[in-house]
Amino acid sequence: MTPTTSASSNGASTAGPATPGAKPSAPCSERSAMPPSASTSSAANRTRPPTTRRSRSTGWRRLTGVGVRCSADLPAWSLPSACSVGDRVATRAPGSAARTWPASTPSWRCTDRWTTSPAAALRVEAGRFAEAASSLSDRPCNDTVKPALLAAIANARQLAGWAAFDTGHHSDAQRHWLSAERTAVAASDLRLAARVRYCQARQFQHLHHNGDALDTLRLAHDHLAGRATPAINAMLHGAEAASLAARGDRQEALTALGAATDAFDRIDPDCEPEWMRFYDRGELLAQYGRVHRDLARSDERHGNAAVQWVTEAIAAFGPQNVRSTVLNEVGLCSGLFLAGEPQEAVIIGTRVIQHSNQLTSQRVHDRIRNLRRDMHRYATDPEVAEFSRTLSTIGSGT
């Protein structure tokens, strides 16, 4: 499926993804290797916004016909405690763990993405679970079970790394992800290794190390050697576009964004790993907003496009996507400053601060405080100056 194009009023490219259409008839193994329906260069110049929306909360369920019950729907007391999980994992046989962990992983992933429970508690529980899981890798295990066991351990370490990243424990995140990367490679699961490297790149981006992020993403591409699924390709190309834009490489960023769109158009959820379920249209739209936001810092013509795409991303999220919504509202506030709408930016920014009080995410607080880099043009505006003072207090009590 290829979106049509139209000219942008401000001269900046505003390419965007379309909702995946009917499934191709080829088997999954063939579909993952199919070429894009259009070249990346043409994709980079697409300018018509998507005409259909898919809510994050229902998108993958509609496409797969499967509903995953997340911990947002469960009472707090039903979540496993760190001690009980660690004790059970440490005494479990490797073969049993390899069979049962994959079925329980979705609820842990949903906990990380969709609840507002204290992030610090999740970090401790996920970390203890992951480290206890890793201890099983040294136990005797049937060769036929070993790859599944290692993949399950890598999944646990990847999730623990994300929980640590979200709470600002960057050294713990790096430690978990290095372990996850090694274990996924040992399991010969290069797709899972690519997912881990994507997480590493996201941390590099958060810390403004975009060169390292690009190197990590390209390593993931190279090691996959054509074995990536469309969703994995879309994820990697979208992240690559964000780092290229942050470095000021406009055309390369738009080309990578076009490649992400091409890959997204070819997604068949039935052929994607379970752990790629998070990657939906909202995720790709958010990358569009991020790319145009970074480009707008050197070319104000991209400001309106940044506002357009992040608004579309927010609309694609479900009400349970608290972190994603707040992070993209931060992006909307930034985009409005860059688009020359400081009053609107302050209104959105004030709402962001109110929403951030629901979260204990250091990552969210870092992003909110970083809004000040886009406010310099309006430093003499009294409302903006007061908003800037408020930003300095964000996260001070965490």
Distance CA 129, CA 82 (A): 7
Question: If pLDDT is split at 50, 70 and 90, which confidence band does 128 have?
Answer: confident
321 near 345, Cβ under 8 Å?
Answer: no
The residue to which tokens 């993209």 are assigned = 328
Distance CA 1, CA 330 (A): 31
- Over its C-alpha atoms, the chain yields an Rg (Å, rounded) of 21
The reported pLDDT for the residue numbered 17 is 62
237-251 confidence digits (pLDDT tens) = 999 999 999 999 999
**Is 284 in a helix, a strand, or coil?**
helix
339 near 305, Cβ under 8 Å?
Answer: no
List Cα–Cα distances, 329 to 30, 117, 284, 383, in angstroms: 39, 20, 15, 19
The CA-CA-CA angle for residues 44, 342, 313, to 5°, reads 40
26 near 268, Cβ under 8 Å?
Answer: no
126 near 159, Cβ under 8 Å?
Answer: yes
pTM: 0.76
250 near 299, Cβ under 8 Å?
Answer: yes
Distance of CA 64 to the CA centre of its chain: 20
DSSP string, 355-378: HHTT---HHHHHHHHGGGGG-GGG
Greatest pairwise CA separation for the chain in angstroms: 69
343-384 confidence digits (pLDDT tens) = 999 999 999 998 887 777 899 999 999 999 999 999 999 999
249-290 confidence digits (pLDDT tens) = 999 999 999 999 999 999 999 999 999 988 999 999 999 999
173-227 confidence digits (pLDDT tens) = 999 999 999 999 999 999 999 999 999 999 999 999 999 999 999 999 999 998 9
The residue to which tokens 């379309």 are assigned = 18
Other Cβ atoms closer than 10 A to 117: 15
The reported pLDDT for the residue numbered 132 is 80
